[in-house]
Chain A
């Protein structure tokens, strides 16, 4: 706890560097990555991330030190070459994109590891720490790195901001973008360069291996919470920043820990939470909605049976034993009583000991269901020429689903008919 407070006070300049740096890296990667996600090119980020490793080694060999500019330049070059190769293979051979990406990714990464090993065996003292690029180490960020990375991050953000509408249009509808004469190829080139840049600075914190997660996961998680692209980008950057900060904290308290895996665990947890708990799109939200629908269907079916029994006796308010309902349509008795109790709670049914009957409200709700059922049967037979003995099943679902507007249109189109195809009377409100 003390460590957390100490960390969050940012009193130690080192902590400031590390925290600020990580947040900058992860947030800007998340923003650029959101476009990869919207373009459905998630794997491309992974390919670039792996392909920058030989570039970093190359930069180191050329400069002789861990000069960030040299490393970035090297990484940028090989990252780009990998993309050009993927494109070349996809367009000139019969190999599909996913195979080409897999191929390029492993070849470049293999070469990178090879070079890294050679450098480590070379005895150059300044090479120590180069292996941090594999899994990332936020704690190794120092002041001078921070300046370089801040500049790159600012460039990224400015370009994304300036070309936001073009990038979104390209992700949504590329043909249309071409038709209005946007320089599609050049804009794509800019976006790809941004991805390469984001990867190049992001790997400092996360490492080559897990970089793709930091590009894609924040956007994937953010998508669950919103349908607005601006909000999605804001959330993605917040998720990214939060995971970056947590990674920096862990890197600070447990220096032997690699940062990358921790950042990925944090962001993945956020993604899982979104996946399950986001309203509307989340799994639990969906589950709740489905079970609510199931309840509605059960409730309305029971009301409907009471109504139909009432039709036979010409009295809708007779109270009956549950067995009478079961004789009409099979229910597990206990389940049926649960439904009846729920309907009684909602005021649609009245109960006298073991006898249950419709209330006025229950009757009108049941009547609406019956009406829609019979109207729909009639609609299917008149307009779609389906045989009368085939229409019941269809109407069973429609009766619970139809909105009042559609109900009205149905009534009007059929001209308020009196009876359905089976000669049952169609009941309208209050008549």
Chain B
């Protein structure tokens, strides 16, 4: 069976400083996957790189055995809640309708059917009481659910979510997890950046443990071990960080360019 997602030798650098080193990874279809690791481990960077939002310094990503650009319409993204300015003049419905833009294509306005689809997704996340509410008037949990509804409106097969449980109350978290479970039951793959170690074994089928390099990835039962946790959260690889800093200071390319000799 081909994996839903395959990453080979992925390196990502910011301002020439590598923040992810040589990641090799495979994720099977229909799993609820948690990405865990300490602050600055590169969790968000990893999912952004998987979706091609960030340029890769090396390596490739294949989703459903195809390069990214061929399967864009089958993936969906929930960014970190803090990554946008919620004071933007838009209502809940406006934001969820954005989830339909990829299906609409350039120049076209949302149609009635898109509104129906958006309303349906709003209902799924339990926000039907807030359809026309301005988004800055929502609580953190409601904003998160709005983002989730937008991702659902894309009707994708693979979902990338950056900390969907941040700033969310316990009841909402439970509701979201149930929703994600239903999605994986329909053979959708859901990849979630997660912070709370307590709930990892309860929520996820599969874990990716990250600390600027891949520590371990696999089924939660066998991978989420205290030994792996120790490597992930234990001592920082100070030598690695220092080398990365040096590369930035000295303006070294993170990968040698192919120099063709005359």
Contacts and interface: CB of A to CB of B under 8 A. Distances in A.
Contact of A165 (B52, B73, B101, B136): B101
Interface residues of B, number: 33
A180 B88 contact: no
Contacts of B75: 179
Using C-beta atoms within 8 Å of the partner chain, give the interface range for chain A.
Answer: 20 to 34
Contacts of B104: 165
Interface stretch (B4-12, B22-30, B90-98, B216-224): B90-98
Interface stretch (A192-200, A223-231, A359-367): A223-231
A240 B51 CA distance: 41
A179 B51 CA distance: 6
B51 A166 contact: no
A173 B83 contact: yes
A235 B94 CA distance: 19
A181 B102 contact: yes
A176 B134 contact: no
Nearest to A34: B89
B34 interface: no
Interface stretch (B59-67, B106-114, B120-128): B106-114
Interface of B: 48, 51-53, 69, 72-73, 75-77, 79, 83-85, 88-91, 94-95, 98, 101-102, 104, 106-107, 109-110, 134, 136, 150, 154, 160
A171 B95 CA distance: 12
Given A166-B106, A227-B134, A182 B101 contact: yes
Contacts of A227: 89-91, 134, 136
A131 B153 CA distance: 54
Interface SS majority for chain B:
mixed
Nearest to A230: B89
A168 B88 CA distance: 9
A269 B51 CA distance: 47
Nearest to A226: B89
Nearest to B52: A178
Given A178-B53, A181-B69, A38 B88 contact: yes
Contacts of A173: 79, 83-84, 98
A370 B134 CA distance: 33
Interface in A109-133: none
